[in-house]
Amino acid sequence: MKNSKSIISIAKETILTESKAIANLANLLDTNFEDAVNFILNSNGRVIVTGIGKSANIATKIVATFNSTGTPAIFMHAADAIHGDLGNVQENDVVICISKSGNTPEIKVLVPLIKNYGNKIIAITGNVDSFLGKNADFPLNTFVEKEACPNNLAPTTSTTAQLVMGDALAVCLQDLRGFSSKDFAKYHPGGALGKRLYLRVADLIKNNETPKVSINDSVVNVIVEISEKRLGVTAVLDTNKLVGIITDGDIRRMLTKTTDFSDFTAKDIMGSNPKTIHKDAMAIEALDKLESNSITQILVVDDKNNYVGVVHLHDLIKEGIF
């Protein structure tokens, strides 16, 4: 049985083997990569990504990355393609074939059929001199010296190289399309990631109370307002102008100094120049302000700097942003 030291050693060797192979991919890039990117960019069709075995698993991930970064793509299993699924390939589509050896029987059957349809083929292969490499319009070299597998058999380093080459294609296309964070948000509306990209402060405060007191209100009124609105804070207004903030921490600090606050007003205990954020700011910006100022609440204002609400750290936690 392996001890923990040898386990860590094997893990490190695996990671280093794969990382060296990935770093070497940069040396294997040539004009075929650039031509492939430009061809996809100028194509009116989709990207069909195909492979068999572990390469098929990599193909599904590459398809997901393409779709989420603005390049329409679908997955087609190479074995299923020659048994009916070849109908997925339309006239203007570009086909990416993934195969380490480039000589598997399914690939040898599939490639001529695709070429007969007139579609261009991009090969992601570890052997550019293979059947796939020689018959592709744009062969992309993902050669690796060895697999991380101790028997040099299980696809490990080679599939990682395929995945990285697919990512390189997707990121280049994303950049050339000018695919922005707003575009990204359209494709990722769910979950914490989507919320980081589209959720605004106004969305966070719409169900919150809006605690506020006058500058001349008694401390008793301040305590009641903070307690009833349950946000641990209240804004302090002079007429309608925001002039301060009082938190439950301010109340506690006051009580450590005196228990006789009958003559105190909001003005006596408030913090001046409160931190604020605009209602149209992104929720992630509110989180940044809270963290950078080591606070748990921030007051929200509108275009005229009028106080309109409070964002609490709990709001961000509830939405899964924090």
| Token pair recorded at residue 28 | 């294997």
Report pLDDT for 1. Answer: 59
pLDDT, one tens digit per residue, over 269-285 is 999 989 999 999 998 89
Decide if 4-179 and 201-318 have a common fold.
no
Q: How many angstroms separate the Cα of 248 from the Cα of each of 235, 256, 271, 316?
A: 12, 13, 12, 20
pLDDT at residue 186 tops 70: no
Q: Which residue ranges are tagged as binding site for Zn(2+)? A: 77
d(CA 285, CA 306): 19
Q: Which of the residue ranges 9-23, 88-102, 175-189, 299-313 would you say has the lowest mean pLDDT?
A: 175-189
Flag whether pLDDT at 128 surpasses 90. yes
Residue 196 has pLDDT above 80, yes or no: no
210: left (phi over 0), alpha (psi -120 to 50) or beta: beta
Tens of pLDDT along 69-126? Answer: 889 999 999 999 888 888 889 999 999 999 999 999 999 999 999 999 999 999 999 9
How confident is the model at residue 262, as a pLDDT? Answer: 83
Q: Which residues are annotated as a binding site?
A: 77
Identify the pLDDT of residue 2. Answer: 64
Q: Which CATH number fits domain 4-179: 3.60.10.10, 3.30.750.200, 1.10.286.10, 3.40.50.10490?
A: 3.40.50.10490
Which fold, 201-318? CBS-domain (3.10.580)
Domain boundary assignment for the chain:
4-179, 201-318
Question: How high does pLDDT run on average in the chain?
Answer: 91
Is residue 322 scored above 80 in pLDDT?
no
Closest among 289, 176, 262, 268 to 216, alpha carbons compared? 268
DSSP state of 87: G
Structural element, H or E, at residue 81: helix 78-81
Average pLDDT over residues 124-150: 96
In tens, the pLDDT along 291-317 reads 999 999 999 999 999 999 999 999 988
Per-residue model confidence as pLDDT tens digits over 36-59: 999 999 999 999 999 999 999 999
Best CA proximity match to 81, nearest among 59, 114, 104, 54: 114
Range scoring the smallest mean pLDDT among 81-85, 185-189, 207-211, 230-234:
185-189
What average pLDDT does this structure show over 24-32? 97
Confidence of residue 68 (pLDDT cuts 50, 70, 90): confident
Q: Dump pLDDT digits (tens) for 225-262.
A: 999 999 999 999 998 899 999 999 999 999 988 888 88
